Structure 1
Amino acid sequence: MFDMGTAWLIQNRVLLPGATILQRLIIEIRERVSNQLWKRLAFLPTQEQKRALEELLVVPQDQRNSQFDRFRKGPFNISGPSFVETVERYSNLRAYGLQNLDFSSIPAARFKSIARQAGILSQWQISRMSDEKRIGILVAFVKAFEIIALDDALDVLDLLITDIAGKARCYLARKSVCAP
């Protein structure tokens, strides 16, 4: 934007505004657009959903991590219990009911960027954000990680079935060798 703005000013022989003023104007415009995006994201969930999203950042007394941190972590190994955990993770994220919200007014690339940012930030950084930004980033996090959790569950199931089928083939191969 800055390059296009300076090119236009030079082409039309405009001396003012200078580079710093033009840069400041672009920053203000980008910030205004960003704030509008946060407002749109924060407006999507109901009050009940917002309260539930805020609960993600709370660390229970008897635990070391918040629900937010637990949702970020995928499966560690391929096993039956791991598959059950991934399905529970998906079910818990789906329970927020964000799949029914209309995200058509949010640019997809910007939404992915916000969700990626949410996955990197700590719960403490998010909890210090303004209300609209905090709700917006939590909405993007839950919506994106719901899809990621489903992918993780399907991957674990696929690898689990592949492992079981491989062991069954090996067992049957050994059995047929031993057969008279």
Structure 2
Amino acid sequence: MPVQFLTVEQRADYGRYVTEPRPMDLARYFHLDDTDRQFIAGKRGDHNRLGFAAQLTTVCFLGRFLDDTTQIPANVLNALARQLELDDPVRCIANYHDQRQRLRHIEEIRAHYGYVEITERQVGYRLTRWLYVLCWTGTDRPSVLFDRATSWLITHKVLLPGASTLERYVARLRSRVEERLWQLLGRGVSPDQQARLESLLVVPTGSRRSELDRLRTGPVMISSPSLVHALRRLHSVRELGVRLPTTARIPATRVAALARFAGAAKVSAILRLPQARRVATLTQNEVSPRLCRGTHQGLTYTAVVVNLKSRPRDEVHDERVSKLESCPLGL
């Protein structure tokens, strides 16, 4: 997968105030309890007290400290000023921005409230284990995993790293999960079976479709020729002699997602895949148990309808035929 998957807008909004926080956010993240007020009361000057409170609540809400405290929204400053009983919060925060005291305040907040860096060994292990489970059991997009990792860091008082750092971290972890999936699916495929699967991608001379495209095309009409076509299709699949690896240890969502890709991807796209992924994709394509179930279901519908159409027609018979013809083939 690509290492860079964030849009320019997502990268610009990362760890910043995009809009003014909602009233519910103000009540949750910007409320100062008695312990906070007692700690803030020891700071000299209104600008230091407001600036310290702004840094404290900002890191709680965004997960990082701001280099420019003048970017803090007005409703946040007004909410903090009311709690601290301060006047003119705009002037106070402007004076605070020009002071070096804010760097010392950052260190005090980190030490007193327990904020740590992502480079901490225990933090990295917990995040990796949690995010690996999400990747293995789900099919979320990289941008969704990025947002969930950001929320996890903020919840566990871990300062957000740079956007590129977290982006590369998510991309590498997701790639590890995908490689493990491909290896498990291709573990039970012998070299001879792999060669048979690869041959499905070859376009015969004088033909415009590969064998894979032919096998993926099921009957579209309920008729006797369609029944013969379905039987020949099933026979061709069985002739491959591919014994599928067990997928008991693989989440069903991952197998289903790979099967959907295999059923819709063009042959040229499958040929460009890495070998491990190509083999895993082919095992979940037309030679998967999903095809056999769908083929048997289609044959059942077709055989029943052909049998009914060969009998004398009456009103009840016509109604049963119309109902069966409206049923999907499941291919």
Counterpart of 2:241, as a letter, is G
Distance 1:11 1:95, change over 3 A: same
Instruction: Check whether the contact 1:115–1:137 (CA below 8 A) recurs between aligned residues.
Output: yes
Higher helix share: 1
CA offsets per residue over residues 136-160 of structure 1, 9 Å max, x none?
1000002033332232222222222
Tell me the residue number matched to 1:161. Answer: 307
* C-alpha RMSD of matched pairs (Å): 2.1
Tell me the residue number matched to 2:150. Answer: 6
Tell me the residue number matched to 1:152. Answer: 298
Alignment of 1:81-120 (within 5 A): 81-99=225-243, 101-120=245-264
Give yes or no for the alignment of 1:48 onto 2:227.
Answer: no
Instruction: Tell me the TM-score normalised to structure 2 length.
Output: 0.47
**In structure 1, how many angstroms separate the alpha carbons of the residues matched to 2:160 and 2:186?**
38
Greater RCO (CA < 8 Å, at least 6 residues apart): 1
Tell me the residue number matched to 2:58. Answer: none
**In structure 2, how many angstroms separate the alpha carbons of the residues matched to 1:50 and 1:132?**
10
Shift of 1:29: 0.9
Distance 1:146 1:67, change over 3 A: farther
21-30 vs 46-55, greater mean Cα deviation:
21-30
Q: Percent identity?
A: 34
Shift of 1:99: 5.0
Instruction: Tell me the TM-score normalised to structure 1 length.
Output: 0.82
Tell me the residue number matched to 2:72. Answer: none
Shift of 1:100: 5.5
How many residue pairs get aligned? The number is 169
Shift of 1:78: 2.0
Alignment of 1:22-61 (within 5 A): 22-61=166-205
Gaps of at least 5 residues in structure 2 are 1-144, 315-331
**In structure 2, how many angstroms separate the alpha carbons of the residues matched to 1:8 and 1:100?**
38
SS at match of 1:84: helix
Tell me the residue number matched to 2:165. Answer: 21
Tell me the residue number matched to 2:325. Answer: none
Shift of 1:22: 2.3
Instruction: Check whether the contact 1:72–1:145 (CA below 8 A) recurs between aligned residues.
Output: no
CA offsets per residue over residues 35-70 of structure 1, 9 Å max, x none?
111111122211111111011011111322111001
**In structure 2, how many angstroms separate the alpha carbons of the residues matched to 1:120 and 1:31?**
22
